[in-house]
Chains A and B, each alone.
Chain A
């Protein structure tokens, strides 16, 4: 295999690999410096400098202001014109500022024990306070969440959110938005700090007071008033809740703290700061070099589209690392989304296998799942019982729907894609009327005024998150939604077993070559009916799994896009409109949801501008769907 690789490939991957090694070595060196005493001491020095520089700032400002005042007086005395006066004053002010800065920013003995110890004490007081405050607020949030009013507030926020997204024609709410709403919804205005917390807050001021003499020692010209005004800026420099090496470094850097080092030491500190970025880039280059080297076998094994998406996924992971997005949280998020959408994507499988191509009409099954969940909610069922009830009743409702739907498809052979897309859309619209009319009475489900079901239903009262939390554990900061994944893999396993059964084999044959199947005496229409019905039933289960994981059930326009999401996932996984395997579903859902979740987060981080990141979000999600649809031909046989 290796002998086949051309010389160019060896050179290219070798060069990239060399770069990667340099980066990683640099990064590791940076890490070593960071954990060593040089960086710790250096950071202390920088902090001390930053504190003093902040304090000096007050003096410099004072001097500059004074110079300006004198200049203006001089100008007034000499009858300067308005413009001349302003120019003269600012010139004088700048001169004075420069002179003062030169005079007051040279500090000796930054590692002076006295100053260092005082600042440390201030910091400690701040840390103790911040930790206590966080703990108390968390407790408060939990108490609020349990009370009913908060839920009402939350639901109102959600409805605004839905209305907002309806305008853009996007009915699937992004999870990041949802999290934001959930966090914002907790109203801290009624939060009452404990006595202990108040005492801790007072202690910070006490510690600051004891820092003042030290400051005066370096900057004797500081006045009483200046010291008082400086309390807030200095406290902002010294400590911030949850800050690490990088944040501290950046904070001190703003106060030009790096200038205290010699040129060589500056480089070392910068290396320490950028260490993990270098490692990330190094890892990226390493993967790139492997990608170049194993390009042919990889693309042969995975197929070009999967290689492209996988590369994009890796790139996004690295970018997320560079932008400082928490990687474990992200991976947990991707896992969750995989399980959440996986069963829905699985619903595409029997449709494709039985020859009706992409079953966009799976929304018919989704309706079944929504109905059964509504019944469970109406009856105030909770826990596993509610979940089991929803799944079983959902299947029972979806079964006849799927059967009827398959009869329709059998009569309209050759136009399945058009018919199923039409059915998918029209049933959503039809049900939008039904949601208004169905006789649900539970106050939790209906609009406060008038009749009809609400758009969004909070599942936390019944079986929201029941699968996600089952046997869920945290490893290396990654929350693994064990139950959700187990359920997804269970469904996949069942489908895999079915595909090996006599009926399953016949169904797949009928789908991939109807004339072959007929020649073997197989009733092709019956096989299509079986495939369509299974697809519809899985869709019903899929939406239940989706809702419990999402935490909310969406009615009305909610299910409209589900078909496209499921189709994109399975197509990205390497299926074609006429051929699919279980592995396509698993790989496809993971890649699609991974790229989607990461892409949105990275876009948000890269473009801080709110409006633009929203545009990016739509571009990314629809771009992937479009790319997936171009893959509907699937790979060449092999």
Chain B
């Protein structure tokens, strides 16, 4: 190892169309070190790794600028296979394992050890038989080095999730000539003891002079494992720190710290907070795949604009979905003092709780139906509005529907050809406005808004947020807004609850420090810097 760095990525810039996702980012990894790569969702971590692995998505969108050096030599990685040949391995967040195969077969997949037989001597190497003994021996060795005691003949199917993670690592270790391993959020699915074991394994691997890039958002693990830390923010290099020179609080504020840039300026009028509790949640568990909640307590006051933030996959969108009965939930929820039955969408709607779903196209809209039908659908089904005729034969009141839809289109500035245009043909921002209109048609007392600005342009974002603030300030509507955009939450909300790992990590004021937000998002509370 002549060069100082096993991997050096110099001044990497990557643009998707007009949108620069990486700006002049430099990453230097020494041999045998554990290098943590930190950043919020969308900070550019995955793009950087995609470049490292030569993923097709990079080549098909015009490549990147900057230099990539492996052991001091300039290289251009052409494909994931090429990366593998260069000795770069990846432990995936989602397991890339075949459930029906044994551990040995998975570890040795496409790198099988084979021996010649009669047929292969005639028809070529592709027909050589497998040397199962040699493969088992290799697999056993790899498993041993990650420290799990399990037979190499076990099938992946039915194994504990944590074990799959280790098999994945074992597969990478087994590859000969490996010099750099990337761990993409490896602890996300692990229990605490497994996570500790993993860190031990990582240190063990690093001691064999294999460098590790450790992508995570758990700051405490970073402090535990990493030697060097690179922090990305909004596609830019925020800082590079040695572990000994930094602290949890500093990392947290570096990760979040944007100061006041880009805040959506909405006139924050002073308003009178009512003391009555609108929604009281106690020990709520929501079983939403990928966004599970494990017992949260929160009170929402009437007339409040509460924000819920946190990283993706931590469970923040589980709250509205659980209360609205879209995913199985258990716990105690009171709405204006009355108990709210869970797992019953209709009863929540009937009591005046409306929701704008984060999954616009999947849950929020009927894409094949006209705008007006989308707007009035819930009100028609839940409250029986917009209907005429006797009880047994209630028909849609076309005139009333049209009038209301036209009014909403005007008020929310929905850009469309006519109220009969199908929502599937609208832009994301206008679809979102239709969703808001649909929620408003219910005359709600309480509104959940989940990721209202995801995938819509700046102008529409502004309008949607403004509308929400107006509804809150002028009409006294209680709003709970879930968003991945911390800036957004901090510019419009009264209080912001940060959800991490299925629990509420902290409830913060909009003007709390960046550090406390950063810590909360990795599941830590600011005071004292201790893990919860």
Interface string of A622-638 (1 = CB under 8 A from B): 00000000000000011
Stretch at the interface among B150-158, B194-202, B233-241, B391-399: B391-399
Query: A502-B380, A502-B384, A637-B367 are known contacts. Are A518 and B425 too (CB-CB below 8 A)?
Result: no
* Those of A344-365 within 8 Å (CB) of chain B: none
A341 and B384 CA atoms in complex are apart in Å by 37
Determine if A515 is an interface residue (Cβ-Cβ < 8 Å). Answer: yes
Most buried by B among A500, A519, A522: A519
Do A500 and B425 form a contact, CB below 8 Å, given A509-B366, A519-B326, A521-B346?
no
Report if A211 contacts B (CB, 8 A): no
Residue of B nearest to A579 (CB): B368
Given the complex of chains A and B, what is the CA–CA distance between A133 and B426 in angstroms?
A: 72
Q: How far is the CA of A513 from the CA of B396 in the complex (A)?
A: 20
Query: Known contacts A502-B387, A637-B424; is A513 also within 8 Å of B345 by CB?
Result: no
- Given contacts A512-B369, A637-B424, A638-B422, is CB(A520)–CB(B396) below 8 Å? no
Report yes or no: B382 in contact with A520, Cβ–Cβ below 8 A. yes
Is A501 touching B425 in the complex (CB atoms < 8 A)? no
In the complex, B344 has a CB within 8 A of chain A = yes
B104-112, B356-364, B457-465, B483-491: which lies at the interface: B356-364
Hey, which chain B residues are within 8 Å of A497, CB to CB? 393, 395
A502 engages B394 (CB within 8 Å): yes
> A-facing mask of B339-350, CB < 8 A → 1, else 0?
000001111111
Query: In the complex, what residues of A have CB within 8 A of residue B346's CB?
Result: 520-522
**0/1 per residue, A452-469, Cβ < 8 Å to B?**
000000000000000000
Which listed residue, B347, B355, B377, B396, touches A501 by the CB 8 Å rule? B396
**Is B365 an interface residue, CB under 8 A from the partner?**
yes
- The one of B347, B359, B367, B381 in contact with A505, judged by C-beta atoms closer than 8 angstroms, is B381
A522 adjacent to B425 (CB under 8 Å): no
Chain B: residues with Cβ within 8 Å of the partner, total of 37
Known contacts A509-B366, A637-B368, A638-B422: A520-B381 contact under CB 8 Å: yes
Q: How far is the CB of B321 from chain A (nearest CB, A)?
A: 9
B352 lies within 8 A of chain A by Cβ? no
What CA separation (Å) do A519 and B364 show in the bound complex?
8
Are B362 and A501 closer than 8 Å at their CB atoms? no
Q: Is the beta-carbon distance between B325 and A521 smaller than 8 angstroms?
A: yes
Q: From DSSP, what is the main secondary structure of chain A's interface residues?
A: helix
Complex partner residue of A520 from B349, B369, B398, CB under 8 angstroms = B349
Q: A502-B384, A637-B424, A637-B425 are in contact. Are A521 and B344 (CB under 8 A)?
A: yes
Asked if B345 and A512 make an inter-chain contact with CB atoms under 8 angstroms apart, the answer reads no
Q: How many A-B residue pairs have CB under 8 A?
A: 82
Q: In the complex the two chains form, is A519's CB within 8 Å of B363's CB? A: yes
Task: Pick the most buried of A512, A578, A637: most chain B CB atoms within 10 A of its CB.
Answer: A637
Q: Which of B389-410 contact A (CB under 8 A)?
A: 393-396, 398
Which residues of chain A come closer than 8 Å to B380, judged between CB atoms?
Answer: 502, 505
Contact B366 A516 (CB under 8 A): yes
Whether A505 touches B382, Cβ cut-off 8 Å, given contacts A516-B365, A519-B355, A637-B424, is: no
Question: Separation in Å of the B394 CB from the closest CB of chain A?
Answer: 5
A500 to B380, CA, bound (A): 11
**A518 CA to B357 CA, complexed, in Å:** 12
Interface pair A521/B425, CB less than 8 Å apart: no
Q: How far is the CA of A509 from the CA of B346 in the complex (A)?
A: 15
Complex formed: what's the CA distance from A515 to B424 in Å?
A: 16
Known A505-B373, A519-B357, A521-B345: A513·B366 in contact at CB below 8 Å: yes
Q: Verify if B187 is at the interface (C-beta below 8 Å from A).
A: no
Q: Are A506 and B425 in contact (CB under 8 A)?
A: no
What are the 3 tightest A-B residue pairs by CB atom distance, in nearest-first order? A521-B346, A521-B345, A637-B424
- Residue pairs across A and B with Cβ atoms less than 8 A apart, 22 shown, are A500-B396, A502-B380, A502-B394, A502-B395, A505-B373, A505-B396, A508-B369, A509-B381, A513-B362, A513-B363, A513-B365, A519-B326, A519-B355, A519-B363, A520-B346, A520-B377, A520-B378, A521-B382, A522-B346, A578-B368, A579-B368, A638-B425
